[in-house]
């Protein structure tokens, strides 16, 4: 009575992802001295870089490291292997542009808050005089409270 053994589906899926990761490295890293570049990128030996490029010895940590270092272009090529490299790089550039735009908006908001706080600080005592106190510390002064001077 012969029993047919089914392949472990998890191992098959892992193998497919590893092959896609190796293919993504092939497409994203320039050709001259590719193995040395991959070795430097991951901090491994050149032989290990050859294995990675061949789709072998990929771990979840290495996939996460590649995603962090190569950006969303690696992710696109990993999960959509038929995707075009230039399209993947455009998606990565668009994502970076959105992040930069978000940061710029936050900086503008923070500048507005800082300006409002400065206006409150310089409002004075309500008589219309805009006064600010500046703390002046002499270098030879003993370590006591700073001398306050009205400007």
The total of other beta-carbon atoms located within 10 Å of residue 79's CB is 11
DSSP 144: S
The pLDDT of residue 41 is 92
What pLDDT score does 82 carry? 72
Instruction: For 1-52, write each residue's pLDDT tens digit.
Output: 455 545 555 455 668 889 999 989 988 888 889 999 999 999 999 999 999 9
Mean pLDDT of 62-79: 89
What percent of the chain is predicted at pLDDT more than 90?
22
pLDDT of residue 66: 93
Give the C-alpha separation, 62 to 146, whole Å.
54
Orientation angle between helical segments 72-79 and 60-70, nearest 10 degrees: 130
When comparing pLDDT for 25 and 109, which is higher? Answer: 25
Distance CA 89, CA 29 (A): 12
């Amino acid at each position: 009575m012969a029993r047919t053994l089914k392949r472990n589906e998890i191992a098959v899926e892992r193998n497919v992802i590893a092959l896609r990761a190796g293919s993504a490295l092939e497409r994203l890293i320039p050709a001259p001295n590719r193995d040395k570049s991959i070795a430097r990128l991951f901090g491994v030996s050149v032989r290990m870089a050859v294995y990675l490029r061949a789709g072998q010895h990929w771990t979840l940590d290495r996939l996460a490291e590649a995603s962090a270092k190569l950006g969303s272009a690696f992710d696109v090529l990993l999960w959509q292997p038929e995707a075009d490299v230039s399209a993947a790089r455009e998606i990565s550039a668009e994502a970076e542009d959105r992040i930069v735009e978000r940061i710029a908006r936050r900086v503008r908001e923070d500048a507005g808050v800082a300006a409002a706080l400065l206006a409150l600080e310089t409002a004075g005592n309500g008589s219309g005089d805009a006064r600010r106190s500046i703390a002046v510390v002499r270098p030879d002064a003993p370590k006591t409270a700073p001398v306050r001077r009205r400007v």
